[in-house]
């Protein structure tokens, strides 16, 4: 795991400048504190920067890395799994490696197979590969966007960076919030290629961009969830269980590679418990496990996680997190999230990552299981909403609503009538996220600043549906539950679970997260199985069956509970001088997104509602949205330089800092 940044010249009238680009990498040194280097082509067509977290080939894996012939240069962030097998194949083809790192595998594959080599990759990655001889650049990102990568085109220069702040640090970039994206995100519509900042886009997960020497940029998808393969596998329960265990065992085993110790994030749930249990199956090492121990015991799972770790024989460490910790680290978590948020879950994860970083550089985690294997309660809700179209299952729907609420992601205002209205006259599927956005539009209509609301496109639910139709017209043929899983996996997951809850909280503390549930073999199997395996009488049946064989009775039957941090009550997020500033009428008017009277009114109502009120949690999410939006505006737009001074690592603290100019491009360029 590393940080990458730089410039690529797109036209004959533009040129790169390594000195100008150098501050980009300085903003993200937390991603790679072990080494920092830069390189620029002799013809000033490419300037590539890299900050390294050393995990594989600690002594010889420095980047930017060049091909043995000198014609290709790459900066790479992430891991390629099965790279030792690929290395043997490439050596048999005649390639002579200078390192034992997986980075050089990418160069060798490109030289042998051309741009299409990306289709062969299994891993979590983002990279920029520059071919000076052929005057082309490849910009690629893994299937689900585990590793972040952003870009912007300014003055004939293609700017890129592992985090948005790297691009914002470039002198050619004007820093502005994108009101359309802000509006969509307030309504929980998280399109995967969007960012909060005008003119800055995310490389679409599962895609590869090609930049040629004439300024042309093309984009193609190298990996995706195929709608036509959803639910098409025909297996009995026993065969499905065997296939899953074989695939998941291989996924975990491959993610233990490297030259450093590997730890595990372990909650009390079934997903991370299976990661830990399968790790014990394939490894005799004592992999340390880490759990958040909320001081409010109602929200903690530390005791159950500790029991699992003890049973498996792993060292277990608990990070105690209270309201005061969430208050102290919330702004820092936003600096890394680079987006508004509706809770402090990622802040808690930031604290946990800090704890783990004292011992390990690599962590295994259970993200991805719920999206791919149907773990969220609202998937079942989506299925019930569709099922009552023919007047069946009405009672089942009523019973479901009684047992599930906002804390489970389930909204009682999502109804068959609302679903039908969104579907219109067509019989196409409707994702639960569209209902969620439509409900939020009703709720937020009178709390948004009227000028802001009239300045942006209306109907975020319709925008999501239109985006899905453009992304792949076949997805609307899916049933509502499968379409909801698909939508979560390609929109919410890269922008929330893998970002605020994943890469950003981990890499803020220089830790690489690895996710066996997003392994290609595991995903393709689970995606291909019918819905009965995902949300029948019990969710995630294959995970539970595998777990029942490895842990004591009762662990595998645990009810799915969404990760929830303690409320913001009684800490400085909603109370005190700082909170008064962020929620003030002056600040609210200045940012211009929300109505000042609505914000102050919501604060008053929040204080009056009992802790057990579901409506209280809804208002808390709204106030967190306001708070984070106002801090983001100040942090990245109004006072970016001050924020850099506050949150950027001390450049002198990087243990090795180099500035390389020595490489000369081949004469062909």
Whether the pLDDT of residue 425 is over 70: the answer is no
End-to-end CA distance of the chain: 31
Contact status, residue 350 vs residue 336, Cβ threshold 8 Å: yes
- For helices 432-444 and 480-487, the axis angle rounded to 10 degrees is 70
Beta carbons of 149 and 202 less than 8 angstroms apart: yes
Can you name the CATH fold of 227-368+498-548? Rossmann fold (3.40.50)
- The Cα 544–Cα 270 span in angstroms is 7
pLDDT in tens, 512-549: 999 999 999 999 999 999 999 987 667 899 999 999 99
The b/e string for 185-206 (b: 16+ C-beta within 10 A; e otherwise) is bbbbbbbbbbbbbbbbbbbbbb
Round to whole Å and give the CA distance between 24 and 37. Answer: 12
Residue 404 has pLDDT above 80, yes or no: yes
Of the candidates 347, 346, 292, which has an alpha carbon nearest to the alpha carbon of residue 318? 292
pLDDT by residue (tens digit) across 376-402? Answer: 999 999 999 998 866 667 888 999 999
Q: Which residue from 515, 559, 186, 564 is spatially nearest to 346, judged by alpha carbons?
A: 564
State both tokens at 308: 């699992």
The CATH number of domain 2-223, selected from 3.30.70.2860, 3.40.720.10, 3.60.20.10, 3.40.50.10540? 3.60.20.10
Order of strands across the sheet with 65-66? 65-66, 72-80, 123-131, 136-141, 207-212, 217-221
List CB contacts of 264: < 8 A, sequence separation 6 or more.
272, 275, 276, 279, 287, 288, 289, 290, 314, 363, 364, 365
> Is the pLDDT assigned to residue 666 strictly greater than 80?
no
pLDDT at res. 297? 61
Q: Residue 669: pLDDT above 50?
A: no
Question: Residue 221: left (phi > 0), alpha (psi -120 to 50), or beta?
Answer: beta
For 314-358, what is each residue's pLDDT tens digit?
999 998 888 889 999 999 999 999 999 999 999 999 999 999 999
Q: Is the pLDDT of residue 668 over 80?
A: no
Q: What are phi and psi of 293, to 5 degrees?
A: -110, 90
Length of the chain: 669
Angle at 547 between CA 541 and CA 550, to 5 degrees: 155
In this structure, the dihedral spanned by the alpha carbons of residues 483, 485, 487 and 488, taken in order and rounded to 10 degrees, is 160
* Mean pLDDT (whole number) for 567-587: 83
The whole-angstrom separation of Cα 508 and Cα 613 is 34
Q: Identify each DSSP E strand in 430-556 by its residue range.
A: 512-514
What is the DSSP secondary-structure string of 311-375? HHT--EEEEEE-HHHHHHHHHHHHHHH-S--SSSHHHHHHHHHHHHTTT-SEEE--TTHHHHHT-
Residue 600 reports pLDDT greater than 70 = yes
DSSP class of 650 = P
* Nearest residue to 228 (alpha-carbon basis) of 476, 540, 534: 476
pLDDT, one tens digit per residue, over 235-269 is: 999 999 999 999 999 999 999 988 899 999 998 88
**Cα–chain-centroid distance for residue 107?**
26
Same fold, 2-223 and 227-368+498-548: no
Quote the Cα angle for 241-244-247, to 5°: 150
pLDDT at 549: 93
Q: Using pLDDT thresholds of 50, 70 and 90, give the confidence band for residue 575.
A: confident
Domain boundaries, the chain: 2-223, 227-368+498-548, 373-491, 577-638
- Structure-block tokens of residue 373: 């294997």
Whole-angstrom Cα Rg for the chain: 24
Q: Which pLDDT score, from 0 to 100, does residue 498 have?
A: 94
Q: Decide: 506 and 351 in contact? Cβ < 8 Å.
A: no
Q: What is the pTM of this model?
A: 0.94
More confident residue, 12 or 141: 141
User: What is the 3-class SS of 126-189, one letter each residue?
Assistant: EEEEEECCCCEEEEEECCCCCCCCEEEEECCEEEEECCHHHHHCCCCCCCCECHHHHHHHHCCC
SS3 296: coil
pLDDT at 654 over 60: no
- Looking only at the bridges linking them, the beta strands covering 65-66 and 201-202 are unpaired
Nearest Cα residue to 622 out of 445, 460, 429, 481: 445
């Amino acid at each position: 795991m590393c940080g990458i940044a730089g410039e690529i010249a797109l036209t004959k009238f533009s040129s790169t400048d390594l000195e100008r680009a150098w501050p980009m990498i300085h903003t993200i040194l937390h991603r790679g504190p072990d080494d920092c280097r830069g390189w620029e082509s002799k013809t000033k067509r490419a300037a590539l920067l890299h900050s390294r977290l050393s995990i594989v080939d600690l002594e010889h894996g420095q980047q930017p890395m060049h091909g043995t012939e000198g014609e290709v240069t790459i900066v790479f962030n992430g891991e390629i799994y099965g790279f030792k097998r690929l290395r043997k194949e490439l050596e048999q083809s005649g390639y002579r490696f200078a390192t034992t790192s997986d980075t050089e595998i990418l160069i060798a594959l490109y030289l042998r197979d051309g741009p299409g080599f990306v289709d062969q990759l299994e891993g979590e990655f983002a990279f920029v590969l520059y071919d000076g001889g052929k005057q082309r650049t490849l910009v690629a990102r893994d299937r689900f966007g585990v590793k972040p990568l952003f870009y912007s085109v300014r003055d004939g220069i293609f700017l890129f960076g592992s985090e948005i702040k790297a691009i914002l640090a470039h002198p050619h970039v004007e820093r502005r919030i994108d009101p359309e994206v802000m509006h969509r995100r307030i309504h929980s519509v998280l399109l995967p290629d969007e960012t909060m900042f005008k003119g800055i886009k995310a490389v679409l997960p599962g895609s590869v961009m090609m930049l040629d020497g004439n300024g042309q940029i093309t984009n193609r998808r190298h990996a995706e969830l195929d709608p036509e393969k959803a639910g098409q596998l025909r297996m009995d329960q026993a065969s499905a269980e065997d296939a899953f265990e074989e695939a998941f065992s291989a996924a975990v085993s491959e993610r233990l590679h490297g030259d450093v110790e590997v730890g595990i994030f372990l909650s009390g749930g079934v997903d991370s418990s299976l990661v830990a249990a399968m790790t014990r199956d394939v490894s005799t090492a004592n992999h340390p496990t880490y759990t958040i121990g909320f001081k409010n015991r109602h929200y903690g799972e530390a005791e159950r996680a500790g029991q699992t770790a003890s049973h498996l024989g792993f060292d277990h460490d608990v990070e105690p997190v209270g309201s005061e910790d969430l208050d102290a680290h919330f702004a820092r978590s936003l600096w890394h999230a680079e987006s508004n948020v509706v809770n402090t879950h990622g802040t808690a994860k930031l604290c946990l990552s800090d704890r783990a970083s004292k011992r390990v550089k690599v962590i295994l985690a259970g993200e991805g299981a719920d999206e791919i294997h149907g773990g969220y309660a609202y998937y079942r809700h989506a299925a019930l909403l569709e099922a009552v179209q023919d007047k069946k299952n009405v009672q089942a729907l009523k019973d479901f609503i009684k047992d599930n609420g906002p804390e489970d992601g389930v909204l009682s205002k999502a109804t068959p009538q609302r679903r039908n209205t969104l579907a219109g006259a067509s019989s196409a599927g409707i994702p639960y996220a569209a209902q969620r956005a439509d409900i939020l539009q009703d709720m937020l209509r009178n709390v948004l600043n009227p000028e802001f609301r009239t300045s942006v496109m209306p109907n975020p639910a319709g925008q999501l549906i239109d985006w899905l139709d453009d992304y792949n017209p076949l997805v609307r043929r899916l049933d509502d539950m499968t379409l909801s899983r698909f939508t979560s996996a390609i929109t919410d997951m890269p922008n929330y679970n893998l970002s605020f809850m994943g890469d950003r909280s981990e890499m803020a503390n220089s830790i690489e997260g690895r996710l066996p549930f997003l392994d290609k073999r595991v995903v393709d199997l689970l995606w291909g199985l019918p819905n009965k395996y995902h949300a029948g009488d019990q969710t995630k049946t294959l995970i539970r069956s595998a777990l029942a064989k490895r842990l004591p009775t009762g662990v595998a039957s645990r009810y799915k509970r969404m990760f929830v941090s303690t409320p913001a009550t009684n800490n400085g997020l909603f109370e005190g001088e700082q909170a008064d500033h962020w929620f003030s009428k002056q600040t609210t008017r200045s940012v211009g997104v929300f109505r000042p009277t609505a914000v102050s009114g919501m604060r008053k109502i929040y204080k009056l509602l009992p802790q057990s009120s579901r409506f209280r949690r809804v208002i808390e999410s709204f106030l967190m949205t306001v708070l984070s939006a106002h801090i983001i505006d100040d942090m990245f737009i109004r006072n970016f330089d001050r924020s850099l001074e506050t949150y950027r690592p001390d450049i002198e603290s990087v243990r090795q800092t180099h500035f390389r100019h020595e490489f000369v491009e081949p004469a062909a360029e």
